[in-house]
Structure 1
């Protein structure tokens, strides 16, 4: 700085003076570059978060900034980065999720022609969600856009397993009715129970194969490392946890619900 202060400069009238005569030369810390956006100078503050999702952190940070920071006129604070991407994705998920469920309901109704059977299959979703939420809790994952995508994928797979079981339960029920009609007897609860057990037993192996193969394919993604692993692991985790609980529902709860539903028809007959 001392040598820089002695730098000669020429004034408008041709006089030579030192730079120190018209300026103070000193060294201080400052930004490496002056950035601007929308014709306004701006500064960026980067934050690494851990143990909490981006949305929750930003909401808490907004409250602290609003309480503790009094911005002068002309200054403003904008939250960007992953939080901005999350808001855009949430906006899309707000209509993608209902649209997905509506498509599932329409396809199920076109297949079974009864809203009662559609309701039974859609009942597989809550228990599948329970397993997904528990696994996310055990892994310490917070809700994010990637997790939302995993839940959407889980809904499709869980419904598929329920359809596999319900189709064979209906076949066993129809065979029971045909057998009772051939023998000239009325169907009874005991006959219905055997038919439900027979139909459910036929689907144990296909359901288990579907679930195990899906889980085995997702486990490497859930425990992967490297570029993009944080995203794919949060997509895979809800599906793995949901598949575990969906199998329990499909093999144990769904046949019981079907039996109770058909008992009304048997009693009426």
Structure 2
């Protein structure tokens, strides 16, 4: 493994855009077996490169394709990441099955179908079921006679063959790593329902503010247009939906929701104080609130344009944020000015219908 990884390193360093690299081999927090290794490849500064990081990755993969006995998977490193798990590819998902035999049968079939897809590349799996294995049967009677439990046998075998790392020992010439990982089950809890809890909280706050169960939905109806605009802009520009782009979409939620709040708040106040009809109230709200809505939207849009057009060091990190904000604001601004009044009137008629159908209590 060391020889093959050194061969990969030699080929990688031949690329003109590669500045340096670090190589790791052996079992640690990222490598699960002795036949796995890692590279940390440092590229030259942005202004000195000949192309983008994604193009450099494809070029390096073609360069090392002729090296037999080893496979190299590369992905650009992000400063912000959702998951701390180290994987060979950019996206990953987990398969689970209580029946190991069925898992061994269907996983290779799934990998084969994914590799045949034209929109996917570098499909990999961390399943290693082709190695040697042995079945251990404990003589429980003799073990009990000496006070040895199955747990003791299991711990002894795991310590001997499982490469259990529980501390870091520093010596004069070497250091021995200790890895302590959280239980993966602890990462699968109610915290995954946080982007849903936020929307429910917004609905409750808006419901209390406007004393209505329906009009908060009118305000929240503007959010899909912002998300669709951001995704469309990212697709057109060829950028992925990374963490920075998700942050841009979160920022859009507050900016776009503000447009509907300005119209709905004015319309409800006009209905209550001026006794206007819903149609007249929302029409007047659109006329009087158009200027502040346009001013605040343009201020946010012009503030995001430098992020979208930025260049230089770190531009890859900032550009998706600006693209998501600009695309989401353009699409949502055009749609919400027309759809919000329509939804407002539709929900108002629905509320009036429920009031007429509700039984009166004498």
For the aligned pair, the TM-score class normalised by the smaller chain equals 0.5 to 0.7
Check whether the contact 1:90–1:145 (CA below 8 A) recurs between aligned residues.
Answer: no
Once the 2 structures are TM-superposed, how far is the Cα of residue 233 of structure 1 from its aligned partner? 1.6
Question: Do residues 233 (structure 1) and 233 (structure 2) align?
Answer: no
Provide the C-alpha distance between the structure 1 equivalents of 2:244 and 2:194, rounded to a whole number of angstroms.
14
What TM-score does the superposition give when structure 2 sets the normalisation length? 0.49
Q: Which of 154, 161, 165 is the equivalent residue of 2:263?
A: 165
Check whether the contact 2:219–2:260 (CA below 8 A) recurs between aligned residues.
Answer: yes
Summarize deviations over 1:212-256 as a string: whole Å, max 9, x none. 000100110111123332222212222221111222233211112
Once the 2 structures are TM-superposed, how far is the Cα of residue 35 of structure 1 from its aligned partner? 4.6
| Structure with more contact order per residue of length (Cα contacts < 8 Å, sep ≥ 6) | 1
- Relative to 1, partners in 2 of residues 1:176 and 1:163: Cα closer, same or farther, differing over 3 Å? same
The aligned residue for residue 122 of structure 2 is: 61
Once the 2 structures are TM-superposed, how far is the Cα of residue 151 of structure 1 from its aligned partner? 1.6
Question: Do residues 155 (structure 1) and 253 (structure 2) align?
Answer: yes
Once the 2 structures are TM-superposed, how far is the Cα of residue 121 of structure 1 from its aligned partner? 0.7
Which structure features the higher share of helix residues?
1
Q: Which residues of structure 1 form unaligned runs of 5+?
A: 1-27, 75-88, 180-190
Check whether the contact 1:128–1:245 (CA below 8 A) recurs between aligned residues.
Answer: yes
Question: Do residues 43 (structure 1) and 37 (structure 2) align?
Answer: yes
- Relative to 1, partners in 2 of residues 1:94 and 1:149: Cα closer, same or farther, differing over 3 Å? farther
Once the 2 structures are TM-superposed, how far is the Cα of residue 70 of structure 1 from its aligned partner? 6.2
Check whether the contact 2:25–2:37 (CA below 8 A) recurs between aligned residues.
Answer: yes
Counterpart of 1:114 in 2: which secondary structure? coil
- Relative to 1, partners in 2 of residues 1:110 and 1:232: Cα closer, same or farther, differing over 3 Å? farther
The aligned residue for residue 21 of structure 1 is: none
Summarize deviations over 1:183-211 as a string: whole Å, max 9, x none. xxxxxxxx543332112111100110111
Larger CA Rg, structure 1 vs 2: 1
- Relative to 1, partners in 2 of residues 1:30 and 1:46: Cα closer, same or farther, differing over 3 Å? closer
Check whether the contact 1:223–1:233 (CA below 8 A) recurs between aligned residues.
Answer: yes
Check whether the contact 2:263–2:282 (CA below 8 A) recurs between aligned residues.
Answer: no
Considering only aligned residues, what root-mean-square deviation do their CA atoms show, in Å? 4.2
Check whether the contact 1:168–1:200 (CA below 8 A) recurs between aligned residues.
Answer: no
Aligned length: 218
